[in-house]
Amino acid sequence: MRGGRTLLSGVVGRIRGRVRGLGLAALVASASLLAGCAATHVVSQVSSYGPWPEARKPGAYVFERLPSQAVQAADQAKLETAAEPALLKRGFHRVEQAEKADYTVQIDANVRTEPRVRYDPLLVPYGMHPGYAAPGHPYFWRPGVGGWWGTGGSGLSLSLALEPPWVTLEVRLLIRDRRDGRVLYETQAAHDRVGAVDEAVLPYVFEAALDGFPQPPQGRRVVTVPLPEARR
């Protein structure tokens, strides 16, 4: 099933909901375990395309905005601020006047949310969970089938319980030659977590996206960015 559109600090994101199968049960369980611990790093899946021309050196750049991003100027500015440290680390410095720039940088972000379903084999009939009987509970509504079988008052209920969603934050970055518009470098990174989007990880996802610049490894790879002590 598919959901509607959402915002990441006002930046338009796409939400595509679909129920994950039992084949992902181990992955979800691992993510849930990690979520309960203090995070020490941000892990992202990264794909980069170039290579950066050997004769070119990083230099001055301006951010380029699509018309849809221009109407969300304040929110797009927050996204650009998150990307700026990673660019600076690679030798790029931001200027405000386009005529002074060697490059243009275009960035965007998407959010994908996938509902998770937990299978509860031993619950009271018809999917009613004693701990979630109050309508105010976030998981009050639970689709399920159930009933009593056998004799002597024994019973079994089968239920599907809604869990916090699996969220993927994706960022994409393009670097172009400002004079001829040629794409010199393209990279994207995706960070997964259980629960809600944490916008505070954006700088670290952009850092992962620019890992390996200017000659990144071929293919999709996993990049781990340590968090500073203050964030742990």
pLDDT tens track for 77-109: 999 999 999 999 999 999 999 999 999 999 999
Beta-carbon count within 10 A of 116 CB? 18
pLDDT band at 222 (very low <50, low <70, confident <90, very high): very high
First to last CA, the chain: 36
Q: How many CA atoms lie within 13 A of 46 on its CB side?
A: 26
CB 13 within 8 A of CB 110: yes
Q: Are 184 and 102 in contact (CB under 8 A)?
A: no
Phi, psi of 146 (to 5 degrees): -165, 175
How far apart CA 22 and CA 29 sit, in angstroms, is: 11
β-strands 156-177, 183-194 pairing: antiparallel
- Specify whether the CB–CB gap between 196 and 9 falls below 8 A: no
Calculate ∠ Cα 136-137-141, nearest 5°.
Answer: 100
Task: Record the tokens describing residue 149, joined without a space.
Answer: 């079988």
Taking the C-alpha atoms of residue 132 and residue 141, their distance in angstroms, rounded to an integer, is: 8
pTM for this structure? 0.69
Cα(88)–Cα(82) distance, integer angstroms: 11
Is the peptide bond prior to 203 cis by the omega test (within 30 degrees of 0)? no
Is the link from the previous residue into 130 a cis peptide, with omega within 30 of 0?
Answer: no
pLDDT of residue 171: 98
Tell me which of 55 and 185 has the higher pLDDT: 185
- Between 88 and 117, where is the model more confident? 88
- Assess contact for 175 and 94: CB atoms under 8 A: no
pLDDT exceeds 80 at position 156: no
CB 63 within 8 A of CB 183: no
